[in-house]
Chains A and B, each alone.
Chain A
């Protein structure tokens, strides 16, 4: 009982610590400072892009992992899920040597198309997508595995081709899982720090997302940093509440 209490306090106290530091009176003006608005706007843009990209590439990836048997599938799945456990800063280093100006792919992007991803908003989006997509893949794959596949059989006997079945039957049936996965991915993208700062840098208005701004402003303008933290916290609580409704209110 005591240990449980200590464990709970350990998780709850930092949250209380954060909340009691908020100067509620000046919260609105703190959030209206140029650094804060730039960071928040960038975070919204980057995290939504990262979520969109995660859905665009993650859903087909989840389909392949759940439905196609091929040699090395378990290795492929482990690799896809690696960003969940790998330190984000390591992910950032990896992104740098893959897509940076000197990187595996990045050098050709730069030489041929004059595209430089490092220190760009696109780079921040990539870093967020890298850490967020596994959440979507794992959730959608689980939904695909647990759904009743006989609905797909029924659709096939009604003359539907595989793409039609995926669009009109499978996706609607796994929609709750897809929404949950997208929400998780979005929350993860929003809080992304290590990979972003390593790969995309910390340029205000271009790659300095909210977590980066919090880290930077904690010394110079602690009130603004705390205000931004509280916004991130509120968003995470909202996502949790949404997922809880999804999971408990499952039709």
Chain B
């Protein structure tokens, strides 16, 4: 059971021609800059933008083939969490969540029961009578999620689910969203311009740029082997997953990384490859994080060189071609990596 889509559409100056496949139980993130066509792609899957060509198939049923077949949005087994949530301002939280059930012909009392259960699931059972304008951003997002999933759609689409939140609310909301997404058993597809959201929420990335898919794969694959400068810039970051211990992060290899604010529980540390320095001798200096390793591979990307280091702290370093010559780096060269603790961003997952 899966979503198989090839979407061809033109909206304004956007020329979208992108193919996406998502399997059941998998979360795929469409990642790209603003104007890449992410939202249009999502709207096409929802039936809000008709295809010019291509085909959208969900669980083997054709929803749109750009010609003879077009299933209207209300006929598709989908749920959408919109960018600014679009909760109906004149309806209460409960009525918002019950809206989809009512539209599917379920009686008021039964719809309210199911909606209450859906709200309990996202921990908002005590807000049922509130109006959307009384909610915080994080609460509104959870209501939107409850509304989109209440009638148990096969396909859940999320458009920039965290973009409308301020920075302080993002971390916890991201963690909650990840937990709630895991309980939705259908096909999950989200759109984001934030690589961190994609890393935290998705199993697989689809990178969209100017209406075209330029790369797909797991975050680790894509960030290790970015196919273009643009992708390298976007996702070519070092992601270290581990367990937080106050100001340390314990990696699966047992290595400890100094990270201020690592907290407790599972966390993800992000370090830009530009922040990684390479040394032939063990360095002595202010950087708190120093580790030994060896060069695994070297990739040249125009004016910079990406060096993959294997070791207890696997890292990618971005250096200039001149630095590479000076250090005389090649596969297998033993090196020391260092980076400052202050160059690390950490967030819980």
Which positions in A face B, CB cutoff 8 Å?
148, 150-151, 153-161, 164, 168-169, 172-173, 175, 251
Q: What 0/1 readout, one digit per residue, does chain B (68-107) give for beta carbons within 8 Å of chain A?
A: 0000111110111010001011110000000110011000
Contacts A159-B74, A160-B99, A173-B89 given; indicate if A153 touches B104 (C-beta within 8 A): no
Of B76, B103, B147, most A-chain CB atoms within 10 Å: B103
- A156 CB, min distance to chain B CBs, angstroms: 4
Is B46 interfacial (CB 8 A cutoff)? yes
- A131 CB, min distance to chain B CBs, angstroms: 32
- B161 CB, min distance to chain A CBs, angstroms: 14
A168 and B72: CB pair below 8 A? Answer: no
Number of A-B pairs, beta carbon distance below 8 Å = 65
Bound CA span A172–B104, Å: 20
Bound CA span A168–B103, Å: 10
Q: What 0/1 readout, one digit per residue, does chain B (128-169) give for beta carbons within 8 Å of chain A?
A: 000001000000000000011001000000000000000000
CB pairs A–B below 8 angstroms (9 shown): A150-B82, A153-B73, A156-B72, A157-B73, A159-B100, A160-B99, A161-B103, A172-B90, A173-B90
- A170 CB, min distance to chain B CBs, angstroms: 11
Residues in chain A near residue B48, CB distance under 8 A: 153, 156-157
Sort chain B's interface into a size bin.
20 to 34
B88 and A157: CB pair below 8 A? Answer: no
A160 and B103: CB pair below 8 A? Answer: yes
Residues in chain B near residue A151, CB distance under 8 A: 86, 88
Q: What 0/1 readout, one digit per residue, does chain B (222-247) give for beta carbons within 8 Å of chain A?
A: 00000000000000000000000000
- A1 CB, min distance to chain B CBs, angstroms: 44
Q: 4 closest pairs, A vs B, by CB?
A: A158-B100, A159-B103, A156-B73, A160-B103
Residues in chain A near residue B75, CB distance under 8 A: 159
- B40 CB, min distance to chain A CBs, angstroms: 13
Bound CA span A168–B96, Å: 11
Closest residue on chain A to residue B82 by CB atoms: A154
Q: Which of A148, A150, A156, A251 contacts B74 (CB 8 A)?
A: A156
Of A150, A151, A159, most B-chain CB atoms within 10 Å: A159
Bound CA span A3–B295, Å: 85
A158 and B90: CB pair below 8 A? Answer: no
Closest residue on chain A to residue B157 by CB atoms: A157
A155 and B90: CB pair below 8 A? Answer: no
Bound CA span A39–B101, Å: 51
Residues in chain A near residue B78, CB distance under 8 A: 157
B103 and A154: CB pair below 8 A? Answer: no
B151 and A158: CB pair below 8 A? Answer: yes
Closest residue on chain B to residue A168 by CB atoms: B99
Bound CA span A172–B90, Å: 7
- A235 CB, min distance to chain B CBs, angstroms: 29
Contacts A173-B89, A173-B90 given; indicate if A157 touches B79 (C-beta within 8 A): yes
Contacts A153-B48, A154-B80, A164-B103 given; indicate if A159 touches B151 (C-beta within 8 A): yes
A155 and B99: CB pair below 8 A? Answer: yes
